[in-house]
Amino acid sequence: MVEVVCEIRFTPETEWKPILPGLLFPKVEGNFPTTKEDRPSRIQITPREEGGVTSKITTEKFTVFYAEDEKTLFRIGPRILAIHRLKPYPKWEEFKPTIGVISSALFETIGDIDGIQRLGLRYVNHIFINEESPELSRYFKIGPALGDELPAGFSNFLVGCTFPFNGGRYACRLHFSSLAIREPEKKGFLLDIDYFLNEPKTVEPAGIIEWVEEGHKRVEEIFEGSITDELRKIFGEVK
């Protein structure tokens, strides 16, 4: 596990003051003493009627709050809170309270919240196998299904699917691919599981912890369902 992200996006009607990160800082300073600024760019592409496309590049300002070890951090941008934990991942029971503490502090700072547009709990796993060309089915229960007429060998792949839950109100996207950037003498894979709220305003701010707890169980089931015992032998499991 290289990253877990819990992301909360608020509805456009939720008032968002640029000063929010500054107001929040004293409430979290004890655990998150360092802040940095991040300005990620976003590209939007629009097709032209006469053909081709045009694009618009926008930059949004995020404030990033780091814990002392710089492995736990959270980012605040326009109507977005994203809490990240990078490797080494502690147990879920240790990460979950962090979500509660930070989100509560932010909710209190915002005051009047119109609603939650999207909630996400995402686990990104890098899996390395010390073989040049490992047989996928030996380690994974997900992979590309290739017909007999296709060449037997391939160097890279990407597969994925989305599982609906609770009548489509929630969903979980599973992404499995080879890592394009390779490590010497081993093959890398990316197993990415993103559980999210598919219908805005169907979870209240007070219900977030319950929602992520349920989400964590679903993510765990999908992770376990994606790998074989052979792979479990290779790495020490951390849930």
In the complex, which residues of this chain contact other proteins (CB under 8 A)? 2-3, 5-7, 9, 12, 36-47, 53-57, 64, 70-71, 75, 80, 82, 84, 86, 117-118, 120-122, 124, 126, 156, 158, 173, 179-183, 190, 192, 194, 196, 200
| Min separation Cβ 126 and other proteins, Å | 8
Which one, 69 or 149, has the nearer CB to other proteins?
69
Question: Residue 72 class from Cβ within 10 Å (0-12 exposed, 13-18 middle, 19+ buried)?
Answer: buried
Which one, 91 or 156, has the nearer CB to other proteins?
156
Which one, 37 or 112, has the nearer CB to other proteins?
37
Interatomic CA distance for residues 45 and 25, integer angstroms: 36
Helix (H) or strand (E) holding 72: strand 72-77
| Min separation Cβ 87 and other proteins, Å | 8
Question: The tokens of 115 are what?
Answer: 């609603």
| Min separation Cβ 155 and other proteins, Å | 8
Interatomic CA distance for residues 36 and 119, integer angstroms: 24
Interatomic CA distance for residues 84 and 38, integer angstroms: 14
Interatomic CA distance for residues 132 and 134, integer angstroms: 6
Which one, 23 or 179, has the nearer CB to other proteins?
179
Candidates 8, 4, 5; CA nearest to 206 is 8
| Min separation Cβ 173 and other proteins, Å | 7
| Min separation Cβ 229 and other proteins, Å | 26
Which one, 120 or 134, has the nearer CB to other proteins?
120
* Neighbouring C-beta atoms of residue 134, cutoff 10 Å: 17
Interatomic CA distance for residues 53 and 105, integer angstroms: 42
Interatomic CA distance for residues 218 and 214, integer angstroms: 6
| Min separation Cβ 59 and other proteins, Å | 8
Which one, 138 or 201, has the nearer CB to other proteins?
201
